[in-house]
Amino acid sequence: MHTRIGFLGGGQLASLLAQSASERGFQVTAFCDSIDDPITNLCQKVFVGKRDDRESLRHFFEQVDMVLLESEFFQADLLRSLSSETSTPVYPNIDDYERLYTKVGQKKLMDEIGVPYAKTTPLDQMSDFSSPHILKLSHGGYDGYGNNEVSNLSEALKVVGDLDQKLFFLEEKLNLTAEYACLLIKGKNQSYIYDPCETIQKDHKCLFVNDGPQIDESIKSQIRSYVERIDEKLEGPGIYAFEFFYDEKGRILFNEAAPRVHNSYHFSMESYTYSQFDMFINAVTSEELYLPERIYTHATMLNIVGVIKGDYQLKFPFNNELSPYKIHMYGKKESRPGRKLGHMTFFDNKDTFESAKWVEREHKL
C-alpha cells in the first residue's frame, strides 16, 4: 500500500511538495481553504475547510498516514491534539514548529545558542524613541507583511491601532549590505544544510535569490556554523529555513526562521540533484537522507509578482543572450498587487543574475 501524505494547506508550497511526492509514488491528499487552490489538481482527495474546524481536520488526519505543513497558520496545540488522537505524525516535528512559531520565540532560541540578532524590544515594554526602528508582527507576517518602519513610539502605536501591543516588537533599523538565507533538512538519522544564498528585497519582499560562488566563503561559513548550532537544538524530522542580515559593520545577524519549505530555495529545483521539496519528502518517508549535489555553479530565482487586481497574463520577453531558464506558474486564478504568481529560475555555469535583472525589467503582467 502506498503511503498517503496529507498536506495542510493548498498554496504553491504545498503544490510543489505534492508534485515531488507524486513523482515518488505517494498518494496525495490536501486540506485547504478552497477547491480552487493550486494543489487540488494533484490530489487523490481534497478536504475543504477552515483552519479552526476541528472535526473536519480530524477527519482529514484519519485519512492519511502523515501530515506535512506548508505554513505556520495552525496552532501547535491543535496539531498536537489531532496527531495524538489519530496516531498520525505531523512534520515538521510539532515541538520544533512551536519553538519557531513566533519571531520572539525564535530569538529566545538564538539566545540559547549564542546566535546574534538586531536589538529587539517588545512594543508594550518600549519607552519613547527617536531613531528609525522596524515594527514587526511576532507571528503571521511574511513577504514583508506586518513590517513597518517607524521613527517614534507615537508612529508605532498608530500602526498598531486597536490590536494587542503584545503581538508586536520593535527592532533597531540596520544599515544592511546584504541579506542571506540558509536551509536545514533534518532526517530521521542525519541532517543536510544547503549552501547559503543571497536574497535581494524590494519593499520588504524577496524579488531575487542569487546563488553561487560570488558569495564570500567566510560569510557562507559563518552562516553554516549558526545553522549547525540551531540543528543541534531541533528534533526533526523537518525542513527549516533561516534568514540573516549582513550589516555595514560586517555583522551576520539572525533575522527570522520558517519551519517549512521556503521561497528562497526554489532555485534548488533546477540547480541541485534534489530540490528542497524532494528533501522534505525524503526526510519524513525514509531512514536515509539524500545528499544533493550541485548541477550548476550559478542560479538566480526571480519571483513573478502581481501588479494589478484581477485576471492576468504573463508577457515574457525573449533575448537570445539569456541564461537557460525555467518558468513555474502557480495556477492562481487572480492577481493582486504583491501576490506571488510564480517564479523563474535561471541556471548556468556562469553568471545568471544579469539575465534575471533584464527579465524583471522587461516582463509584463
Inform me whether the pLDDT recorded for 364 exceeds 80.
no
Nearest Cα residue to 185 out of 236, 225, 232: 236
Whose CA is closest to 197, among 242, 261, 256, 247?
Answer: 242
- Compute the mean pLDDT over every residue in the chain, rounded to the nearest whole number: 94
State pLDDT tens for residues 19-63: 999 999 999 999 999 998 989 999 999 999 999 999 999 999 999
Q: Evaluate if residue 145 carries a pLDDT over 80.
A: no
Indicate the pTM of the whole model.
0.94
Mean pLDDT (whole number) for 91-99: 97
Over the stretch 308-348, which tens digit does the pLDDT of each residue have?
Answer: 898 888 887 878 899 999 999 998 888 998 889 999 999 99
Percentage of residues of the chain with pLDDT beyond 90? 83
Residue 1, pLDDT above cutoff 60: no
Give the pLDDT band of residue 65 (cuts 50, 70, 90).
Answer: very high
pLDDT of residue 365: 63
CB 271 within 8 A of CB 294: yes
135 confidence band (pLDDT: 50, 70, 90):
very high
Whole-number pLDDT of residue 317: 80
The span from the CA of 67 to the CA of 89, in Å, is 6
Tally the residues of the chain: 365
- pLDDT for res 315: 83
The pLDDT, as a whole number, for residue 170 is: 94
Residue 303 pairs in a beta bridge with 343
Confidence of residue 307 (pLDDT cuts 50, 70, 90): confident
Q: What is the pLDDT of residue 35?
A: 92
Q: Which band of pLDDT confidence, cut at 50, 70 and 90, is reported for residue 141?
A: low
Closest CA to 195 of 183, 206, 185: 183
Q: Are 30 and 37 in contact (CB under 8 A)?
A: yes
pLDDT at residue 263 above 80? yes
**CA 280 to each of CA 75, 76, 80, 274: distance values in angstroms, whole numbers, following the listed order:** 21, 20, 20, 10
Q: Find, among 294, 223, 280, 237, the residue nearest to 96 by Cα.
A: 237
Contact present, 101 and 76 (Cβ < 8 Å): yes
Q: Give pLDDT tens digits for 242-258.
A: 999 999 999 999 999 99
Smallest Cα–Cα separation from 156: which of 201, 255, 147, 144? 147
Lowest mean pLDDT among 58-72, 77-91, 222-236, 300-314: 300-314
Residue 178 has a pLDDT of: 98
Q: What is the pLDDT of residue 363?
A: 84
**Measured between alpha carbons, how far is 21 from 33 in angstroms, rounded to an integer?**
21
Domain annotation for the chain: domains and CATH numbers: 4-91 (3.40.50.20), 119-172 (3.30.1490), 176-362 (3.30.470.20)
Q: Is 142 a residue whose pLDDT tops 70?
A: no
pLDDT at 144: 59
Q: How confident is the model at residue 75 (pLDDT cuts 50, 70, 90)?
A: very high
What's the average model confidence in pLDDT over 162-183? 94
pLDDT at position 126: 87
Residue 143: predicted pLDDT = 58
